[in-house]
Amino acid sequence: MEREKDWKQQEHIPMLGAAYYPEDWDEAEQEKDIEWMRKAGMKVVRMAEFAWHCMEPREGEFHFDWLHRVIDRLKEAGIMVILGTPSATPPIWLEELDPDMRRWNHDHRQETHGGRRHCCSNNDTYNQYSLRIAEKMAQEFGREETLLGWQIDNEIDVQSDGCFCDSCVDKFHAYLEEKYKTIEELNRRWNLNLFSQAYDRFEQIPAPERSWHNPHLLFEWFRFQADSQIGFIRRQAEVLRAYSDKPIGTDMMPMMGIDYEKMAGFLDVMQFNHYNTEENLKDVPFWFDLLRPLKNRPFWNTETATCWNGSTCIGQSVKPDGFCRVNSWLPIALGGESNMYWLWRQHWAGHELMHGSVMSAAGRPLPVFAEVQRTAEEFDKAAEFIAGTQVETEAALHVSSTNSGLQAVQEIVPEPGAGDILTPYLYRVQQYFYQPMVQSGLRPDVIGAGKELEGYRLLVSPVMLTLEEADLQSRIADWVRKGGVWVVGPMTDIRDDIGAHYRDRAMGMVEELTGVALTYQIPDAEHRMKAVWSNGEEFIVNEWLQLYDVPENAEVLARVSEGYSTAIGKALAAKIKVGNGCVILVGTFPDREDMLRLMEIACRESGVKPLRHSASVTAVRRGGSQRGYIALEHDGQPATFVPEMKVKDILTGVEYAAGEEIAMKPYDVKVLAEV
Amino acid sequence: MEREKDWKQQEHIPMLGAAYYPEDWDEAEQEKDIEWMRKAGMKVVRMAEFAWHCMEPREGEFHFDWLHRVIDRLKEAGIMVILGTPSATPPIWLEELDPDMRRWNHDHRQETHGGRRHCCSNNDTYNQYSLRIAEKMAQEFGREETLLGWQIDNEIDVQSDGCFCDSCVDKFHAYLEEKYKTIEELNRRWNLNLFSQAYDRFEQIPAPERSWHNPHLLFEWFRFQADSQIGFIRRQAEVLRAYSDKPIGTDMMPMMGIDYEKMAGFLDVMQFNHYNTEENLKDVPFWFDLLRPLKNRPFWNTETATCWNGSTCIGQSVKPDGFCRVNSWLPIALGGESNMYWLWRQHWAGHELMHGSVMSAAGRPLPVFAEVQRTAEEFDKAAEFIAGTQVETEAALHVSSTNSGLQAVQEIVPEPGAGDILTPYLYRVQQYFYQPMVQSGLRPDVIGAGKELEGYRLLVSPVMLTLEEADLQSRIADWVRKGGVWVVGPMTDIRDDIGAHYRDRAMGMVEELTGVALTYQIPDAEHRMKAVWSNGEEFIVNEWLQLYDVPENAEVLARVSEGYSTAIGKALAAKIKVGNGCVILVGTFPDREDMLRLMEIACRESGVKPLRHSASVTAVRRGGSQRGYIALEHDGQPATFVPEMKVKDILTGVEYAAGEEIAMKPYDVKVLAEV
Amino acid sequence: MEREKDWKQQEHIPMLGAAYYPEDWDEAEQEKDIEWMRKAGMKVVRMAEFAWHCMEPREGEFHFDWLHRVIDRLKEAGIMVILGTPSATPPIWLEELDPDMRRWNHDHRQETHGGRRHCCSNNDTYNQYSLRIAEKMAQEFGREETLLGWQIDNEIDVQSDGCFCDSCVDKFHAYLEEKYKTIEELNRRWNLNLFSQAYDRFEQIPAPERSWHNPHLLFEWFRFQADSQIGFIRRQAEVLRAYSDKPIGTDMMPMMGIDYEKMAGFLDVMQFNHYNTEENLKDVPFWFDLLRPLKNRPFWNTETATCWNGSTCIGQSVKPDGFCRVNSWLPIALGGESNMYWLWRQHWAGHELMHGSVMSAAGRPLPVFAEVQRTAEEFDKAAEFIAGTQVETEAALHVSSTNSGLQAVQEIVPEPGAGDILTPYLYRVQQYFYQPMVQSGLRPDVIGAGKELEGYRLLVSPVMLTLEEADLQSRIADWVRKGGVWVVGPMTDIRDDIGAHYRDRAMGMVEELTGVALTYQIPDAEHRMKAVWSNGEEFIVNEWLQLYDVPENAEVLARVSEGYSTAIGKALAAKIKVGNGCVILVGTFPDREDMLRLMEIACRESGVKPLRHSASVTAVRRGGSQRGYIALEHDGQPATFVPEMKVKDILTGVEYAAGEEIAMKPYDVKVLAEV
């Protein structure tokens, strides 16, 4: 038997872990599993998230012994646990207590038992029993020595277009009445003179089933449904907190449906699941850059695949050597303290039988096992550096759930690809703005509307249709006047808080702040318009143009040179000094090269100093008890990174001079501490 | 204040106008809007089509003052008005009076409040209140001096596959009983021995929800639903006519669902909306050629976009310089008297916030503003020529809503592209027949089955599955015998009036009229069959072949030369003298070059004389108080037009000799009067 | 009048025939039709399959005279008949007796009257009346001299995802209770601890409407629905057998939804419909190879098109000369005794008006008529050879409805193409295994799990996820030990009988039988892994790899050479002696060339001797009263066939030497008897 440990979380950071379903296996198999976990170097396992029926097989009859036994066995192996509340998968006896508990879809068909998240987060009975099982778990495990923290529910989000049960519709009406006070005010703000849509009473307002609905109704429905999920999580957080001082979070997926800032308000730790593959690994840092500024403590990457995804595996491919390792390092580099795989051992029956894991259903290691072991060893080597340093940056990029929602329902931004209505917004922000920023050596905090701007010197706000959120209009104006450099992307500040046009001006505050006039807005999917930089070089225009008449003091960076006759000569990009700061207008979705050039100008103006590395490198400055960098090659190509000071790679012991171009292999990981 | 005008419509022809929604704006903004209208040269605005709630906010409480004030302000600015009855958008208090008012879809889900045209045109309550508001408007505005005319409802059509409410199903049964008299007769005509489908009573016949339905049932359902919309419009027309002598119409969209001839029967003026873009501007003349022969008075182009379409604009592109101008001229050239934009000023909230317009929501002119102004000035210059002349032609092309419906539901013609079930019929008629006709200098009237044939010398009838409509079989036979030249396209005259095959012959009347026998019908999507003209040159065969055994007196124009062995040598195209006229059979969808050649033969035979111009020119002979032409370049390319007499361009003053090849620039407009 | 015939079936073999709908035509037309049938050489017509309403227009009122008259007329023309029971198309009076008779779909919408197979095969009333009409027909026609046999219903299959009526759901619960006995056992076997899905009572288990359902539930639903169709057919078979000694069958379509072995158990003759075209004619032999071993008597090809398919013909093309002939010969060559066209004469109204046929609705012959005549003449010439010989083979290929269902619902095999959930399984079996086998000169019986293995020397089992069916695990082991050569394809023997993983081993019986260990299973859609044969030549890997650690006595045929590091060097294919036989493991979907090479090894090992011919030839050894071959070119290309003995072509009289390379023209047919 091992010596008694002091279960301080710090000793485990950075943590490698996995999801485990002890309810799948008898105790003999559990023993074997835990022995393999120890071999692999696991420090934490996530459990219980779907195990309601095992914990409460009949109403009010609670069984926690089996879970205690697993926790104890894991403790013996030096492994901590995260416990999930099981509200995503209610037992059938519970669903039978209230015929409306399961979600009603927009076509008035109800979900059936099966799957997950099929119940309505606004249903009273469902809430009541979800809170009770959470409370019981908190009482039972809240002070458990090896409990690292709580995960509430699982991947909560608005399912499809929400729930259309009577309870949801009633609460939607209450939400509208709370916000608009009178039906006359709602009619006025939504402009319901149009199409004779005006309502006499809030109760007349339909949930948006079929019909060509008013976009403001769609927007409010979308906000209401998203906020309903936040409320469901908050209620559980309050119950857990009453009995446990362990950090509380909920593991979320990469969508902008739910407002991350609102959710972060009452949680202790951000938790995040992703299943990105080689094709889109470059998009994962965006989410870590978004999670980092939400809380003052490191986030947890609660789920990622070791080797392949999904219920089905045919149609996929094994990932290359080194992918699992760099994928595991990414959250650690960018401000997290853990990386956990889904799942430890393949299920033997039921759903998702073919999902990648660490161990097969037969209890044999998968090909990726050795890579997992190596990663665990490296985490240990770098533990002191990781625990003693944080990510440092002076740049920020705006992203807002409100603006995502506005665009999705306002019929403004159709899907460039397929699928989710939220995709187009994220696609444009990531593709046209975030990617060029990080490729040019910046490491922006991706911030919501509510985030304080103090401490940033450079702020980029693309496609922020409305700035009427969290007092942004005046807060940005103040920050610019005090010296901030603000890059205003296309489609920013052109709508009010529910997506209506301004009637007496074209922009909410930018025109007044800078003295420009937004003259024309022109769609241009086919590149009929051309523009040039002030030195005559081409500025490539994509999808949309906003053209400005600018004041005397403005420096026009780019103008229209060809296309519709009345637009030629109008300013497409311009820089205007405002107080001690400046505003840089960009009236289109810029090509990568043009955005890199704009970022050069913005860095020069703001004094922000980018790192030097290849485009396929994710790099970050870290400071605190030491200084240094983490640099990861995320695209499977040879690359380079240049440190600004003399450093030593903690993983290999190799030293590099300041300014030396360090060669990185495909999927390479460098943890560089100043020496 | 301006001098009192004599509000005669003629002074305003040709009219440039726009849709305007005064219910969107307060009176101060209205003043500004009207001032900009005057600057732009607007002569007419369309209003009130969706403003029911503003006119009758509560049952029986009517408010027309606000509309009177706008009409008065417009009058001061010299602008006439068209008023729409608002039945497309009933207020919510009305919808609450009858729970079945909103349309029931084929999946037994009901429309909700929101959007437009979501109510059932067969619903009694909806009809009653729609007629009352129309009557009130007629009483209020029917004699208004500046009222140019009425528009009933908006873009009425069969929504999706129609309404499945009890009232519709009952009326469908009544429709069937009226037509077939006994259930035995219906069973017999639909051949319901097949699949044991026979009914015992009319009430057993289902509305065509799911299941693989009998095609004749589908056809009748489709006719019934289309006719229900016509009835809805007719009832309103009768009410309006009781109080107003202004011309009455309804603005329609380019589909063949509704029978345009039936609709024209009780209307005064044809109204038409289109949103074609550069890609399909060439298809717009088809609709104007169709509208022109329906009534003895010029039609109105009630809606078109200035610069881009739709609720969403991203994904589109600004149109080229000159496009708006030529698009505005097209209806004028082809027999209309007005062109109106949708919409004057972008909505500030609600639906369709990104649609192209003349003014932005902020009250600023769009880039296209100057082009609109220029077009208005040109309309004035050409006013005398336009008002004093009409389009002249001796050729006609058959199009029939019955045949469109037959093909759509008879599973005969699958979609070459996507979407609407009606598309394939129109696509084939336009692509294979109409386009080559107009490109070869013909300007056909596009006529329905009921149109008198007297006055035409050349008639083309493609894909007219049945000629058992409006006595066409005998009327065409008479007309041919008297000297007409009839081109019989593929799939014409091969079915009875509900789409059944003939059992004792392959064609309804053509075999008897000409002495030919239709031997084989062969599908050929992959061009396995080849044919040659009588001189051995290739005749390119598309999609389908009808092969004929011909009598002695026939001239075989083309024969099968390769492909399935038993078909080789059969006649694909032939000319047969009949009385003083002749019949030209064309047993396939011909390639453009082959159709041009057939048209040469048909013109020679009939004495019809085509104009000479490039393929991208829309040209028209006009005669009346003067003689001349209008020629428009519609495809953005350099082109030429050759006048038959000496002419002067009314817009530029330049003169051209008879037979001179006039160079036209992309999107050029020439209004040429004889000098 | 003709002389009295002795109506022995043998005289008619091989039979050319067609479907005929006398209910479509009056008696005068029937006379003409039968005269044309005689000219064409028809020997049998299929009738009555949809004629319920004509036979029983009102409940209990039976009319068979009309059908007797047709049968008599056909008899005069020397034509036999097959009669269909009409249960696919109940009359509307029957549907009205029970409001639940028509199928309820998964979205709780009910089918309407129209189409076919729209009623629930588990509905009691529907069953009762279906059995009564079958009984009446059996009594009326069961001893008819020219009755060749019975066809029950038409193309029965699970419609969409089955019927969701209360009766089906109740019977589903009974099915589950019968199989699992207790709900605890079901919970355990389905692993319903996962996602808290456990049930307390069988009645709680939902039919699988929306929601992300447990795959074992989906699998059982699928089995239950498929078995319900089998039960529906069996009940009718029992009734027919009581009054008739003619062979009974049901005409089926090429899917693996319904278990063909179960169905064959109580039928006398297999019947099969197909509508393959040039593009996929090569897939048709698979189905004939599957039908042949199911019964001891030759099968009937009950439906195929003469010249084009479908309700709609535009979009198709006339087939090439010779296609109809070779298509008609295929079933005869491969073990059938008849080929029948759908349909004799185009319907004149109702559904499917454009389907290819022998005669047009107008009663005129189609272009293909002469080819039909020629085929009939050839059938006569070859009659003695066909009747006296059978197909001979020593190889078999496994296909199982259970395994098809497991893969479809277990989320293992996504669709490579589109559409049907069953497609991927068949696609892989046919593409990777069947096609290379037949192209290399083998003529496998395609056998189900229950088929006896005695008599085969070579057995190929690809993608047989479970071998826990019909005692296959031990039966195969015995057969191998006695000398059989078993090729174990990828994804075989890796699941239990409901699709669960084994927990204590990776394969059910192969590891124990051979001493191998299945080390890794790796998806590889993008060909990241490479492998080589033992001589270093490339072995191309597709989609999926199973890698083995092999015992000393194994001969490794191929190994991984590149890709994920820990997999390099593992065995991909291996040969292991077991008793007197051997097992050949193939851990991937092999490319054609690699499969041909594996088949060479397997043939050498087993002593099976392939035929020699081009890849586009379907060839077969026949033996019995004579010896010989039939060789058909199915792909429209020049090809060759090499007989092993001296033969004469019965159709042309030409003789060929043993070993001579016989040149075959596109779509050529050679019937070669030993001389």
Interface check A323 vs C, CB under 8 A: no
Q: Which of B197, B518, B541 to mutate to test the interface with C (most CBs of C within 10 A)?
A: B197
- By Cβ distance, the residue of A52, A111, A321 closest to C565 is A321
Spell out which residues of chain A touch residue C211, defining contact as CB-CB under 8 Å.
Answer: 111-115, 118
Interface size B-C, in CB pairs within 8 Å, comes to 179
User: What's the confidence (pLDDT) of residue B9?
Assistant: 63
Q: Which residue in C127, A280, A414 sits closest to B313, CA to CA?
A: A414
Please give the structure tokens belonging to residue A254. Answer: 């990469």
In whole angstroms, what is the distance from residue C646 CA to residue C649 CA? 10
How far is the C-alpha of A466 from the C-alpha of A401, rounded, in Å?
A: 11
Task: Tell me whether A105 touches chain B (CB under 8 Å).
Answer: no
Q: Which chain C residues have a beta carbon less than 8 Å from that of A94? A: none
Subunits adjacent to chain C (3 or more Cβ pairs under 8 Å) = A, B
- Could you read off the pLDDT of B632-675 as tens digits, one per residue? 999 999 999 999 999 999 999 999 999 999 999 999 999 999 99
A517 at C interface, C-beta within 8 A:
no
Closest CB to A191: pick one of B24, B114, B364: B24
Three-state helix/strand/coil letters over B159-174: CCCCCCCHHHHHHHHH
Cβ partners under 8 Å of residue B384, min gap 6:
none
Q: What is d(CA C464, CA C397) in angstroms, rounded to the nearest whole number?
A: 11
Phi-psi region of A396 (alpha: psi -120 to 50; beta: other; left: phi over 0): beta
Q: Is B522 on the interface with C (CB under 8 A)?
A: yes
Across the interface, whether the CB atoms of B528 and C92 are under 8 A apart is answered: no
Rounded CA-CA distance A63/A74 in Å is 19
pLDDT tier, B212 (very low <50, low <70, confident <90, very high otherwise):
confident
Chain B CB contacts of A528 under 8 Å are: 317-318, 320
B351: chain A residues, CB-CB within 8 Å: 194-195, 212, 214-215
Please answer whether residues C137 and C85 qualify as being in contact, where contact means their C-beta atoms are separated by less than 8 angstroms: yes
Band of residue B420 on the pLDDT scale cut at 50, 70, 90: very low
Rounded to a whole number, what is the distance in Å from the CA of B497 to chain C's nearest CA?
Answer: 12
Look at A318 and C523 and tell me if their CB atoms are within 8 Å. Answer: yes
Residue A291 in this model has a pLDDT that exceeds 60: yes
Verify whether the Cβ–Cβ distance A363 to C192 is below 8 Å: no
**What is the sign of the dihedral through the CA atoms of B349, B353, B359 and B361?**
positive
B214: chain C residues, CB-CB within 8 Å: 114, 350-351
Strands A538-539 and A530-533: antiparallel
The pLDDT averaged over each successive group of 10 residues in chain C (675 residues) is 54 92 97 98 97 98 98 96 98 97 91 93 98 98 96 93 95 98 98 96 92 89 95 98 97 84 97 93 96 96 91 76 98 98 96 92 97 98 96 97 82 45 78 96 98 97 96 98 98 95 97 98 93 98 96 97 97 98 98 97 98 98 97 98 98 98 98 97
Query: Could you tell me if A290 and A397 are in contact, meaning their C-beta atoms sit under 8 angstroms apart?
Result: no
Nearest residue on chain C to B108, judged by CA atoms?
C109
Using a CB–CB cutoff of 8 Å, tell me whether A111 touches chain C: yes
- The phi-psi region of residue A284 (left if phi > 0; otherwise alpha if psi is between -120 and 50; otherwise beta) is alpha
Say whether residue B178 is in contact with chain C using an 8 A CB cutoff: no
Give residue B311's pLDDT.
60
Cβ atoms C505, C493 nearer than 8 A: no
pLDDT (tens digit per residue) in A350-377: 988 889 999 999 999 999 999 999 999 9
The closest alpha carbon to B194, from B504, B402, B501, B468, belongs to B501
Distance from CA of A529 to the nearest CA of B (A): 9
Structure tokens at A24: 């799948």
**Please, what is the average pLDDT of chain B?**
94
Q: Is the peptide bond before C14 cis (omega within 30 degrees of 0)?
A: yes
How crowded is the C-beta side of A205, counted as CA atoms within 13 Å? 26
CA distance A310 to B408: 42
Provide the pLDDT for residue B314: 67
Q: By the 8 A CB rule, do C69 and C27 touch? A: yes
pLDDT at B87: 98
- Return d(Cα C291, Cα C304) in angstroms, integer: 16
Q: What local confidence, expressed as pLDDT, does residue B256 receive?
A: 74
Q: Mutate which of A31, A53, A97, A154 to test chain C, going by most C C-beta atoms within 10 A?
A: A53
Confidence band for B424, pLDDT divided at 50, 70 and 90: confident
Question: C193 and A312 in contact by Cβ < 8 A?
Answer: no
Q: How remote is the C-alpha of C303 from its chain's centroid?
A: 13
Q: What is the mean pLDDT of residues A634-661?
A: 98
Q: How far apart are alpha carbons A446 and A290 in whole angstroms?
A: 4
Closest CB from A92, A319, A362 relative to C503: A362
A524 touches chain B (CB under 8 A): yes
Beta strands in B368-453 (DSSP E): 389-391, 395-398, 445-447
B213 → chain C, closest CA residue: C114
Q: What angle do CA B623, B625, B630 make, to 5 degrees?
A: 40
Cα separation, C656 vs B188, in Å, equals 59
- Cβ contacts (< 8 Å) between A312 and chain C: which residues? 411-414
C-alpha span between C87 and C84 (Å, rounded): 9
Q: In which band, very low, low, confident or very high, does the pLDDT at B179 lie, cut at 50, 70 and 90?
A: very high
Q: Which has the closest alpha carbon to C287: C267, C268, C298, C301?
A: C301
Question: Residue A20 in contact with residue A343, Cβ under 8 Å?
Answer: yes
* Option in C190, C211, C544 nearest A349 (CB): C190
pLDDT score, position C307? 93
Cis peptide, bond prior to residue C148, ω within 30 of zero? no
DSSP one-letter code for A57: S
Q: What is the 3-state secondary structure (H, E, C) of B182-241?
A: CHHHHHHHCCCCHHHCCCCCHHHCCCCCCCCCCHHHHHHHHHHHHHHHHHHHHHHHHHHH
- From B617's Cα to the closest Cα of chain A, the distance in A is 23
Q: What is the mean pLDDT of residues B567-590?
A: 98
Question: Which of B54, B311, B353 lies at the smallest CB-CB distance from A193?
Answer: B54
Enumerate the H helices of B244-303 as residue ranges: 260-264, 284-291
User: What residues are paired with C502 via a beta bridge?
Assistant: none
Q: Which of B195, B220, B427 to mutate to test the interface with C (most CBs of C within 10 A)?
A: B195
Tens digit of each residue's pLDDT (9 = 90 or more) over C26-82: 999 999 999 999 999 999 999 999 999 999 999 999 999 999 999 999 999 999 999
A521 touches chain B (CB under 8 A): yes
The B residues from 529 to 568 touching C (CB cutoff 8 Å) are 529, 543-544, 563-567
Element (H, E) at A647: strand A647-649
CB-CB neighbors (< 8 A) of C567 in chain A: 318, 367
In the prediction, which pLDDT does B116 show?
93
A658 touches C at CB < 8 Å: no
Per DSSP, the three-state class of A480 is helix
Task: Write down the pLDDT at residue C6.
Answer: 63
pTM (2 decimals)?
0.95
Among all chains, which residue has been given the structure tokens 């990568």?
A592
Distance CA A198, CA C188 (A): 56
Is the separation of the CB atoms in B261 and B402 below 8 Å?
no
pLDDT-derived band of residue A10, with 50, 70 and 90 as boundaries? low
* Residue in C198, C212, C527 nearest the CB of A53: C198
C611 residue type, one letter: L
* Cross-chain residue pair C206–A367, CB shorter than 8 Å: no
Beta bridge partners of A151: A84, A249
Average pLDDT over residues A146-164: 94
Residues of A in contact with B343 (CB under 8 A): none
- The percentage of residues in chain B with a pLDDT greater than 90, rounded to a whole number, is 88
**CA distance readout (Å), B567 to B491, B543, C321, C365, C396:** 18, 16, 11, 12, 44
Contacts of residue A8, Cβ cutoff 8 Å, sequence gap at least 6: none
Q: Touching B: which chains, 3+ CB pairs < 8 A? A: A, C
Quick check: helix, strand or coil at residue C88? coil
Check if B90 contacts A (Cβ < 8 Å): yes
Which ipTM did the prediction report? Answer: 0.94
CA dihedral (B343, B349, B355, B359) in degrees, to 10, reads: 50
Residue C199 in contact with partner chain A when CB distance is under 8 A? yes
The distance of A281 to chain C (nearest Cα, Å) reads 17
Residue type, C658: A
Across the interface, do C194 and A24 touch by the CB < 8 Å criterion? yes
Residue recorded with tokens 């269902």:
C405
Q: Is B155 exposed, middle or buried (0-12, 13-18, 19+ CB in 10 A)?
A: middle
**B211 contacts in chain C (CB < 8 Å):** 111-115, 118
Does the pLDDT value for residue B125 go beyond 90? Answer: yes
| Chain C residues within 8 A of B504 when measuring between CB atoms | 362-363
d(CA C16, CA C33): 16
Give the residue from C9, C25, C127, C130 showing the smallest Cα distance to C73.
Answer: C25
Residue B415: pLDDT band (50, 70, 90) is very low
Q: Which residue of A has its CA nearest to B23?
A: A193
Structure tokens at C342: 């759908």
User: Within an 8 Å CB–CB cutoff, is residue A363 touching chain C?
Assistant: yes
pLDDT value at residue C314? 67
Question: Quick check: A53 contacting C, CB < 8 Å?
Answer: yes
User: What single-letter amino acid sits at B254?
Assistant: P
All residues of chain A having their beta carbon less than 8 Å from the beta carbon of residue B57 are 198
The whole-number pLDDT of residue C13 equals: 86
Q: Which whole-number Å values give the CA distances from B491 to B215, B263, C480, C497, C612, in the listed order?
A: 17, 26, 63, 56, 49
